[in-house]
């Protein structure tokens, strides 16, 4: 199977390949995996589809993870691959390292991963571990190297994102406050400030959905 055929299959599932690599023995991929493909939502058409799915409409928790399990497993079965997921731990699979291995995601000045197409809205819904080695496109260089002013680094009103780390408590306190309404309803200002994020097709409703889950957690 070649990448374009796989992409056509994923297109029907409202997913897209966000990158891939050919694992070595130290990459923590399943035995016999010759190509690992990382999958994310195909935005912006993903969200209008997702809110019509049984998982979203049954009002039970973790709708997006349950949708991902069903859909990525179905895709894997159709091509004889193994499905892997970034949730369900601990232990968790090393999606962060795998994303870097693809060469399409890079560490940004605020330490979140920035992707050549999804920008700072990078999110993984699962992986496909293939037993065959398929050709992959050459990776892109980081968009941060040519980003004028690097606006992600200064966009957070409470400076919760710095090169030293992410102050989760300060971020959540702000999002829950009246002043944090824009982050709460439209998504993280720092992620939105990235010029790559601006072309990623992320809809505010999807960001608001993730924010609701985020602020429900502790602290
Ligand atoms: S969601 Fe808002 S408060 Fe939190 S890091 Fe992003 S910009 Fe800062
Ligand atoms: S705003 Fe610029 S520096 Fe920040 S992640 Fe996006 S491309 Fe990189």
- With the most atoms of ligand 2 within 8 angstroms of its CB, the residue from 117, 151, 156 to mutate is 151
Output b/e per residue, 28-67; b: 16+ Cβ within 10 A.
Answer: ebeeebebbbbbbbbbeebbeebeebebbeeeeeebbbbb
SS3 165: strand
Q: Flag whether 143 is in a domain.
A: no
At residue 218 the predicted structure's pLDDT band, cuts being 50, 70 and 90, is low
Q: What is the mean pLDDT of residues 90-105?
A: 97
Q: What is the mean pLDDT of residues 139-151?
A: 95
Do 21 and 101 contact (CB within 8 A), yes or no? yes
Structural domain of 191? 3-136+148-216
DSSP result, 103-142: TSEEE-TTSSEEETTTBTT----EEEEESS----PPPPPP
Ligand nearest the Cα atom of residue 111? 2
Q: Flag whether 142 is in a domain.
A: no
The answer on pLDDT for 150 being more than 70 is yes
pLDDT, position 48:
98
Q: Is 120 in the pocket of ligand 2 (CB under 6 A)?
A: yes
At residue 140 the predicted structure's pLDDT band, cuts being 50, 70 and 90, is confident
ipTM of the complex: 0.99
Ligand nearest the Cα atom of residue 160? 1
Q: How far apart, in whole angstroms, are the C-alpha atoms of residue 21 and residue 155?
A: 33
Q: Is 190 in the pocket of ligand 1 (CB under 6 A)?
A: yes
Q: Flag whether 141 is in a domain.
A: no
Domain count, the chain: 1
Q: How far apart, in whole angstroms, are the C-alpha atoms of residue 154 and residue 161?
A: 8
Q: What is the mean pLDDT of residues 27-35?
A: 97
Task: Write down the residue that tokens 């991963």 correspond to.
Answer: 113
Do 196 and 143 contact (CB within 8 A), yes or no? yes
Q: Flag whether 87 is in a domain.
A: yes
pLDDT in tens, 43-92: 999 999 999 999 999 989 999 999 999 999 999 999 999 999 999 999 99
Q: Is 144 in the pocket of ligand 2 (CB under 6 A)?
A: yes
Q: Flag whether 105 is in a domain.
A: yes
Residues of the chain above pLDDT 90, percent: 93
Q: Is 118 in the pocket of ligand 2 (CB under 6 A)?
A: no
């Amino acid at each position: 199977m070649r990448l374009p055929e796989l992409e056509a299959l994923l297109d029907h599932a409202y997913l897209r390949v966000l990158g891939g690599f050919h694992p070595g023995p130290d990459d923590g991929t399943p035995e016999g995996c010759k190509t690992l493909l990382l999958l994310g939502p195909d935005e912006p058409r993903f969200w209008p589809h997702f809110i019509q799915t049984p998982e979203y409409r049954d009002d039970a928790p973790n709708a997006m993870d349950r949708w991902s399990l069903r859909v990525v497993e179905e895709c894997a079965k159709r091509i004889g691959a193994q499905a892997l997921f970034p949730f369900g731990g601990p232990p968790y699979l090393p999606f962060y390292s795998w994303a870097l291995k693809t060469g399409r995601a890079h560490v940004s000045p605020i330490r979140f991963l920035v992707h050549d197409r999804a920008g700072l809205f990078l999110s993984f819904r699962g992986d496909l571990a293939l037993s065959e080695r398929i050709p992959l496109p050459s990776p892109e260089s980081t968009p941060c190297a040519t980003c004028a002013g690097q606006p992600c680094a200064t966009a957070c009103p409470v400076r919760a994102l710095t090169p030293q780390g992410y102050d989760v408590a300060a971020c959540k306190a702000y999002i829950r406050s009246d002043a944090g309404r824009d982050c709460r309803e439209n998504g993280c200002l720092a992620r939105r400030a990235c010029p790559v994020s601006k072309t990623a097709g992320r809809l505010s409703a999807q960001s608001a959905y993730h924010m609701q889950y985020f602020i429900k957690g502790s602290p």
